[in-house]
Amino acid sequence: MAEVTKEQVLETLSKVRGPDLEGDIVSLGIVSDVFISDAKVYFSVSVPAERAKELEPLRAAAEKIVKTIPGVKGVLATLTADRKAGSAPSPRPAPSAPAGGHAHPPAGGAPRSAKSGVPGVGAIIAVASGKGGVGKSTTAVNLALGLQANGLRVGLLDADIYGPSVPRLLKISGRPEQIDGKYIKPMENYGLKAMSMGFLVDEETAMIWRGPMVQSALLQMLREVAWGDLDVLVVDMPPGTGDVQLTMAQQVPLAGAVIVSTPQDLALIDARKAVNMFRKVEIPLLGIVENMSYFLAPDTGNRYDIFGHGGAKAEADRIGVPFLGEVPLTMEIRERSDAGTPVVVAVPDGPSAAIYRDIAAAVWAQVSGRPQRKAPSIVFE
Ligand SMILES: Nc1ncnc2c1ncn2[C@@H]1O[C@H](COP(=O)(O)OP(=O)(O)OP(=O)(O)O)[C@@H](O)[C@H]1O
C-alpha cells in the first residue's frame, strides 16, 4: 500500500471547520506539523486554553477524518493551548534557557531527529494520570525514591511544564548550573537527580507556551541535561492528554507508563482515557497505581474504605493492565509531600515507604522483564 503523506493528511484536514465554523483548520494555520511514523499520524491543533473542553469535538473530528485515509494505521490528535482562536501562528520564540545557556531553535518546521534515547539512561518511565489532583506527582517522587531504595540509580524529570511540582516535593530551589556551556547540571536532593521547568523559568512564562515550545523545552530537559549513568529516569507527566504526551510518544523511547488513579469513578474514567492514549501510541502499560485507596486513621490506625475501594484493581483486571498496588490516604504522606520530605526518605521504616518500595519493585519487574523497546524510525515528509 502507498505510503501516507503529510500532504494527504493536510488535504484531508482542510475539510475540518475551524473553531467558530469559519474557514478550515489548515488555512487558519492552527494545525501543527504533521508527523508520520509507521503509518501512524500525529498532529496537534492549537486552540485557546480556556476553550479546550468545548473544542474536544473538533479534535475528535480531525482524528476521525484522518483515520479514513487509506493506509493510515492510527491517529493521535491533541489540542494544544494557544492564546487566540483562529489566529495565524504567532512567532514561536524558544523557551528561556538557563543563565548563559543557549536557546533551542523552535521545533516547528525544522527537521527533527528520530526517537532516540538519552545517553547513559537505561529505562525511561512515564508516570501519568487522566486528570489532575490524583496524586501523580507524589507518586512519581516516591516511586523514584522507592526505585532508588531498591538499589537503582534514578533520575526524576518533571515534564509537568504548566504546573511543575518537583521543586517543591524535593525541596530544591535555585537555578541549575551549566557545564561547558552546553549541558545543564541536574539538581539533586535525597540522592535523586532532578530536572524541572520550575528550575528554569517562571510558571507564568510556561503557562502561555505553544505546542512547539513545549516540545523543545521538554527535549532540552531530556537530552541536554548531564544525567550521567542512570538505570531509570522517572518522568512526571502533566495530567491529561496534550502536547507533552504527544512529544513523549513521538520522540522518546519510553520503556512504559504507570497510570495513577484514585478509586472514584470519575478518576477511573479519566484513567481509562490515559490508558487508551498510551495504547494508541503503543507504549507499554506497566500498570495502574491506586492512590488514596483507603483512609488510615492517624489515631487508631483503623482502615476506612471511604472511596469505594478496589475500583482501580477491578478496572486494571478488566482492561488487562497489571495492578501495581494501593497507596492509602494518610496525613503522613500529605504532610511529608507538602513539606518537601517525601515519605520514602523521611520515614523509610514506616508502612507507607514499604508500600512505595513494593510498587517500585513491581514497576521494575515489568520493565526489566521486558526486552528493551526498540525505537521505531519516524518518517519526515
Ligand atoms: N496518598 C496520599 N495521601 C494523602 N495525601 C496525598 C496522597 N497522594 C497525594 N496527596 C496529596 O494530594 C495533593 C495532590 O497531589 P499531587 O500534587 O501529587 O497530585 P497531582 O495529580 O500531581 O496533581 P497535579 O496534576 O495538579 O499536578 C497534594 O497535596 C498531596 O500531598
Instruction: Write out pLDDT tens, residues 96-151.
Output: 333 333 333 333 333 333 567 788 999 999 999 988 888 999 999 999 999 999 99
What is the identity of the amino acid at 68? T
Residues near 23 by Cβ (< 8 Å), separated by ≥ 6? 17, 86
Residues near 276 by Cβ (< 8 Å), separated by ≥ 6? none
Does 136 count as an annotated binding residue? Answer: yes
Q: From its phi and psi, is residue 183 left (phi > 0), alpha (psi between -120 and 50) or beta?
A: beta
Cell 519526515, residue located: 380
Q: Which of 164, 331, 148 is nearest to 238 (CA)?
A: 164
292 CB near ligand 1 (under 6 Å): yes
pTM: 0.71
pLDDT score for 167:
93
| Strand, helix or coil for residue 327 | strand
pLDDT score for 7:
92
Q: How far is CA 266 from the centre of its chain?
A: 20
pLDDT score for 210:
60
From 127, 129, 131, 137, the mutation candidate for ligand 1 (largest count of ligand atoms within 8 A of CB) is: 137
Q: What is the largest CA-CA distance in the chain?
A: 67
Q: Does domain 6-82 have CATH number 3.30.300.130?
A: yes
Atom of ligand 1 nearest to the CA of 238: 25
363 CB near ligand 1 (under 6 Å): no
Does 151 count as an annotated binding residue? Answer: no
Does 171 count as an annotated binding residue? Answer: no
23 CB near ligand 1 (under 6 Å): no
pLDDT score for 276:
86
Cell numbers for 258, please give them. Answer: 504507570
Assigned CATH for 121-368: 3.40.50.300
Cell numbers for 178, please give them. Answer: 551549566
Tell me whether the CATH fold assigned to 6-82 matches the one assigned to 121-368: no
- Distance (Å) from CA 361 to ligand 1 centroid: 22
Q: How far is CA 362 from the centre of its chain?
A: 20
Which residues, given as ranges, of the chain have pLDDT below 50?
83-113, 371-381
130 CB near ligand 1 (under 6 Å): no
Per DSSP, the residues of 44-55 read EEEEEGGGTTTT
Does 116 count as an annotated binding residue? Answer: no
Residues near 50 by Cβ (< 8 Å), separated by ≥ 6? none
- According to DSSP H, which parts of the chain are helical? 6-13, 56-67, 136-149, 166-169, 197-200, 203-207, 211-223, 243-251, 265-280, 311-319, 331-338, 343-346, 351-368
Cell numbers for 213, please give them. Answer: 515550545
Ligand 1 atom 31 nearest Cα: 334
ipTM surpassing 0.95: yes
Sorted by where each begins, the domain ranges of the chain are: 6-82, 121-368
pLDDT score for 248:
83
| Strand, helix or coil for residue 148 | helix
